[in-house]
Amino acid sequence: MSAVPDLEILSDSIFRLIIGREYHFSRDGERQDIALTRRLCDPAMLLPVLVRMADLMWRAQTEMDCFGLDLVATQDALFGYELRGVNGSSLALIIACVDEILHRVADEDVIEMAELEALADQLASSEHPQRTATH
């Protein structure tokens, strides 16, 4: 497996994915600008949500171990958690899974935050198998 991704590289890669696909985040019909999109990709903003959603989707579809996310509860984070590390997956796999998540919620080039939240709730509430380690 590839080396675990550096958070700065992961954040930048997610931002580049969003910009490259020409997606725009929207809240209540109001499009967000590129500067806010960049901020949303920070480890204490939307990044933990996107990576956790990708993790849950991967686990549900493959029945394989999760990404090994290091999430820390903090009041300073937008959604209450900051992503401090990813210890069990490659950058390429995370980007591919986040790409699929964004594709699922995008309406043409717009990602409505309510749609993203609805998919997050759906993924979090479904059962996800845990593979047991065999020695």
Asked whether residue 130 carries a pLDDT value surpassing 50, the answer given is no
H or E stretch covering 93: helix 91-105
Nearest to 15 by CA among 93, 99, 90: 99
| pTM score of the predicted model | 0.84
36-50 pLDDT, tens per residue?
Answer: 899 999 999 999 999
Where would I find the beta strands (DSSP E) of 38-94? Answer: 69-73, 81-86
| Residue partners of 93: CB distance under 8 A and separation at least 6 | 58, 67
